[in-house]
Structure 1
Amino acid sequence: MAKRERGRRALQDEVSRRVQQIDEIGEDGAKIRTPMPEPHPRDARGRNWDMKGFGRATGYEAGIRAVVDKVRDEFDLSDAVENRAPNPFGD
């Protein structure tokens, strides 16, 4: 099955939404800062991006990594013009 493509901001939002739904994070009322996805060459599993450096994530690393890996399996990072955030200063 082909992966759906998403831009950096859309992937950041999707991971953030799913991370906040992790039971222990929700129960603790923790607010995790989600970084932007970083592109990389396709790996052996066909993934072309990753995320590292979550803020306020101590103790939740395993759950967060599971979420990120699941989203990486579902979506490719695309830099297509239609997936870019608008540039407020023009292009």
Structure 2
Amino acid sequence: MIRKTLNASRLQEEVSRRIHRIHEIVEDGVKIRVPRPQKQEPDATGCNWTMKHFGNAIGYERVVDEVLRSARAEYNLSDTDDAKDIHSLFGD
């Protein structure tokens, strides 16, 4: 499967969206802090990013890991700097 590419902010938002739509998390009213993805050398699967240290996730590690595994299989982190993306919106 070919991975889609997202910048760090969009990837962080996507992982957060997926986590916060899980029934168990919605039902419990928990807000989990999702860290920014960190670039790494591609692993054996070809994924070039990881996330560590989710906030307020105690007791939800299993579902967070499932979301993270799914997102890592679907997306790669772009080489584009988020700041550069913002400037391009304004023609800088």
Normalized against structure 1, the TM-score is what?
0.87
CA distance in 2, matches of 1:80, 1:15: 19
Q: 1:35-85 CA distances to partner (integer Å, 9 max, x unpaired)? A: 00001101111111011111100000010011011011101100225xx24
- TM-score in terms of structure 2 length: 0.86
* SS state at 1:27 partner: helix
1:54 and 2:24 are equivalent in the alignment: no
> Residues of 2 paired with 1:61 and 1:53: CA distance?
11
Give the 3-state SS of the residue equivalent to 1:79 in structure 2: coil
RMSD: 1.5
Query: 5+ residue gaps in structure 1?
Result: none
Structure 2 CA distance, aligned partners of 1:46 and 1:29? 34
For the residue of structure 2 that corresponds to 1:59, the secondary structure is coil
How many residue pairs end up in the alignment? 86
Q: Secondary structure at the match of 2:52?
A: coil
Q: Where do 5+ consecutive residues of structure 2 fail to align?
A: none
Q: Please report how far the alpha carbon of residue 2 of structure 1 lies from its aligned counterpart in structure 2 after TM superposition.
A: 1.7
Q: Which residue of 2 aligns with 1:39?
A: 39
Runs of 4+ in 1 over 6 A off after TM superposition: none
